[in-house]
Amino acid sequence: MKKIVAIFLLFSAVLSGCYYDNYKELYPSASLANGCDTVSAVTYNKQVASVMNGYCVGCHSSSISNGNVALDSYSGTMSAAASGQLMGSLLAQSGNPQMPPNAPLDACSIREVQLWIQNNYAQ
């Protein structure tokens, strides 16, 4: 019986840990204050453009398009997303190099890009 109680307590501890992991999703205002919004419908103009401008456009624009990828416009970002290279590089998966090259983006920004793709590249 004691063992069952101990296991139950352990699971409660693990589950309450998840509660804090989801903090940003549970408290949208907190994620907005952080400049990251995965709660309202994700569009290019509301979220994705600022992620690209903040972390990618310095190396990926119409004038400096490393890897032939320009992320300073809706159409350029959409074609990188549609080819699978955008998520591939953000997650360093499927043979794509890690982007940005020095360190991955924060999880919330990556999630914004993922939700934008699921939202059919809403403008």
Provide the 3-class DSSP secondary structure of residue 65: strand
Q: Hey, which residues between 58 and 77 contact ligand HEC (CB under 6 A)?
A: 58-60, 66-67, 69, 71
Q: Tell me how far, at minimum, the Cβ of 105 lies from ligand HEC, in Å.
A: 6
Taking the CA atoms of residue 86, residue 89, residue 92 and residue 95 in that order, the dihedral angle to the nearest 10 degrees is 90
Angle between the 107-118 and 74-82 helix axes, to the nearest 10 degrees? 90
85 lines the binding site for ligand HEC (CB under 6 A): yes
78 lines the binding site for ligand HEC (CB under 6 A): no
Q: Return the closest-CA partner of residue 116 out of 78, 85, 89, 88.
A: 78
HSE-up (13 A, CA, CB side) for residue 42: 24
DSSP 37: -
Q: Tell me how far, at minimum, the Cβ of 58 lies from ligand HEC, in Å.
A: 5
Q: Tell me how far, at minimum, the Cβ of 36 lies from ligand HEC, in Å.
A: 14
35 lines the binding site for ligand HEC (CB under 6 A): no
Task: Give the total of residues touching ligand HEC (CB under 6 A).
Answer: 20
Residues that bind ligand HEC (CB under 6 A): 55-56, 58-60, 66-67, 69, 71, 80, 85-86, 89-90, 96-97, 99-101, 105
